[in-house]
Copies of this chain bind each other. A is one copy, B any other.
């Protein structure tokens, strides 16, 4: 029994990517928590992650800067909410480091993400549960290519570990 809260999926507000991958949980964990690793897989190509900061504790910074093929930049600064080694990571864009609320325009599909890495044979049952503040944000995020994008990033993560 885990003491952690796993909220049920609300199909109106949430997006979920769940897949088994054939690399073990502790390597998936490393790929998510070490900036030099995360930068290698976090953005589906041709975008890349030009910068990453991780202070892995509740309230600690989680910042990524993503750069597009035409020089566009997306700078996201959020914080970690839960850190359970090799098992579970929760982060959000609603708050900056120290749990400080961020003033986010209504049009931005900000979210909280609960990542779980469950052992499955020699691999991992990988799950990303992404919760939005309203149905429009969920739909926007989906239309931006959530499933394709997060799926491609996961492929890159697995390839990095193997390669």
Give A contacts to B, CB under 8 Å. 3-7, 10, 13, 57-60, 81-82, 90, 92, 94-95, 97-104, 106, 110-112, 114, 131-134
Contacts and interface: CB of A to CB of B under 8 A. Distances in A.
A101 B110 contact: yes
A101 B133 contact: yes
Contact of A99 (B3, B90, B101, B102): B90
Q: Which 8 A-B pairs have the closest CB atoms?
A: A7-B98, A101-B133, A5-B59, A103-B133, A103-B134, A5-B98, A99-B112, A100-B131
Contacts of A57: 3-5
Contacts of A7: 97-100
A82 B94 CA distance: 16
A112 B134 contact: no
A90 to B, nearest CB: 6
Given A95-B112, A99-B114, A104-B133, 8 more contacts: A5-B97, A5-B99, A7-B100, A10-B100, A59-B82, A92-B95, A92-B99, A100-B112
A97 to B, nearest CB: 6
